[in-house]
Structure 1
Amino acid sequence: MTPTAQHTRRQLADLADLAALLPTALITRTPNDTQRGAAPGSRPPARLDVIQLLDRRVRDLTSRAEWVDPDRAGLLPYLWTWCRDIEADALDAGHHPDDLPDTVAGCCAWLATWLDFAQTLPQWDELVWGIDRCWRNTRAATRGVRDDDPPRHARCNRCHIGT
């Protein structure tokens, strides 16, 4: 069953809010003056999944027909690629879309306004799948910093790593 434009619109609105939490979710531990280096088996000081989502580099996005993997591109380049793709189709159909945004929240809002048009395009299923994938990845990356999902374990006050 293909999700409706309304479901995808809700995911885009939620994605914009979740993306605003990514900088808070980036740091996993704070430096400790008494500890010279990371403890064996400890996590890196920054979360790599969050760094991936915050990545703003546009990699090899030269062709309109090119498929971009939402698991390998940052949120902004991935969403911007879809904005660019839908804009080109809208221009071909005689519509005059607004200028493309340059933020994740702007891309989410832009895509939300053009979802009804995008639903008529052959790439609709790929768009919906990609937005859902981005939403799931961002939701997982912001676990513990969202109000609706408190952290499962309290951090140690001394090392900030253990529980």
Structure 2
Amino acid sequence: MQQDRSTLASRSSFRFRCRTSLIAANLGQFLAKFRSTGHIWTVLQTPFEILHELAGRIKARRVALGWPQLEAAHRAGVAYRTWRRLETEGQASLEDMVKAAVALRCEEALAALFPLPVASNLDALLAQQAAGAATRPARVRASRSRPAKAPRP
């Protein structure tokens, strides 16, 4: 009787491990499938994954422009080692990242990084517009005074 219980326990433990590994494998396939299709799972990336993806994009852009790492670093105004770290690890200061974007001619994409949240109603829209108007400097007209004309002979 005792042997039957231990055999039954080991069999159920084996089944549980098989099911768990099957679920884990299916979950991995499921996540990979939805990441490649552009579903919501693409948003759920870790900062590490985002940094490495960005590093790969920087390298691909540099290679597409036909520049070696040394030339790209020189054009960006950063040290060669910094550029290498940027391409391999995605690690750099914000200033170095902006310099790299300018050197790789991607600076217009930086403006789209942190957009304002969309207004949910008309009051919120008016408040956003008022806040935007308050931060802009007031326009000042240039004076219309003209230089004095030289007397005619």
TM-score (norm 1): 0.27
Query: Which of the pair has the greater relative contact order for Cα pairs under 8 Å at 6+ separation?
Result: 1
**Structure holding more helix per residue:** 2
